[in-house]
Structure 1
Amino acid sequence: MNIHSIGEAKRRAAQLRKIAAEKGEPLPHGKALERVAREQGAHDWNTLRARLAKAEAPTPAPDFLALRRGSLVEGRYMNQPFTGRIVDVSAEGQTLRLSIHLDQAVDTVAFASFSNMRRRVSGTIGKDGQSAERTSNGIPHLMITRMNS
């Protein structure tokens, strides 16, 4: 299992804790995080967390004004990577309101106990290609990282 985000790592740690509890072997949260780090080839949790945070860092946004209906875009929605096509775009002051039809559905919920798969997403982005709205851990809801004509 290759982990790509801090959220995925934490969900894996929760899964390990649940498996251990079912065996009657309580596993503290910190120990579960350390185990996930070792599974991913990192020395410890802090090393893995830093590596994942760097991978999640936003990349420069495409030309803000070039985003049009029909543009193919790549980015992240609720920290899940996506590719898709802009189906609607409108300017709202210094921001753009986008609706994007995704090539593959993304799960918008970060909990292992349930999912909410979305194929069409909407959001408002600034010139940096990111939405002002953030998740509880500070990640923008919507990030456009690349545009293909």
Structure 2
Amino acid sequence: MNGIIPTLDEAKRQAKRLRADMAASGTDLSHGRSLEIVAHQHGYRDWNTFHAAIGNGPPREEARRTCAPVEIGQTVRGTYLGQPFLGQVLSVHMMGTPARYAVEIDFDEPVDVVTFDSFSSFRKRVRTTVDAAGVSTSKTSDGEPHMRLIL
């Protein structure tokens, strides 16, 4: 199709139109089969996978105006709790407000998240919420963001 994922309602309307068009040409098509065909037309394996990709995301116009700072599979660098890291983005999800994204990153090397000299605690994979600039909304007690992505 055009590369833009439709909303759930749009996808269902496409399936309904497909079913009606096929019936008009003499071919009966179940509702479930028409949903599967629409999913395939958008490049997805099946309706369940397509439905998960659509999710409860924002309407298309809002999605066009906002853009996540990172993409799944992207290698990123930055700081986490003041420690530098290099890692791979495992997931990105738009939160309730358009400029907030839940990001999960797998660090190449574990990061020590404790500043106390006689104790360490390492993290290899973290989840945090960042804004469109890649800066986390959560802050440490001294006011520094938990994560800063260098974009």
Which TM bucket (shorter chain)?
0.5 to 0.7
Of 70, 78, 83, the residue aligned with 2:81 is 78
- Give the structure-2-normalised TM-score: 0.52
Higher relative contact order (CA 8 A, sep 6+): 1
Contact residue 64 and residue 128 of structure 1 kept, 8 A: no
% identity of equivalent residues: 35
Of 129, 132, 140, the residue aligned with 1:135 is 140
Partner secondary structure for residue 68 of structure 2: helix
Contact residue 101 and residue 130 of structure 2 kept, 8 A: yes
Runs of 4+ in 1 over 6 A off after TM superposition: none
Instruction: Give the 5 Å matches for 1:1-149.
Output: 65=68, 67-92=70-95, 93=97, 94-146=99-151
Contact residue 69 and residue 134 of structure 2 kept, 8 A: no
- Letter matched to residue 129 of structure 1: G
Contact residue 90 and residue 106 of structure 2 kept, 8 A: yes
Note the aligned Cα RMSD (angstroms): 1.6
The unaligned stretches of length 5 or more in structure 2 are 1-65
Structure 1 or 2, whichever has the larger Rg, is 2
The unaligned stretches of length 5 or more in structure 1 are 1-62
Q: CA deviation at 1:64?
A: 5.1
**CA, structure 1 residues 64+112, in 2 after alignment: closer, same or farther (shift >3 Å)?**
farther
CA–CA separation in structure 2 for the residues paired with 1:108 and 1:98: 18
Q: CA deviation at 1:72?
A: 0.7
Q: CA deviation at 1:128?
A: 2.3
Q: CA deviation at 1:123?
A: 0.4
**CA, structure 1 residues 132+114, in 2 after alignment: closer, same or farther (shift >3 Å)?**
same
Contact residue 68 and residue 94 of structure 2 kept, 8 A: no
Count of equivalent residues: 84
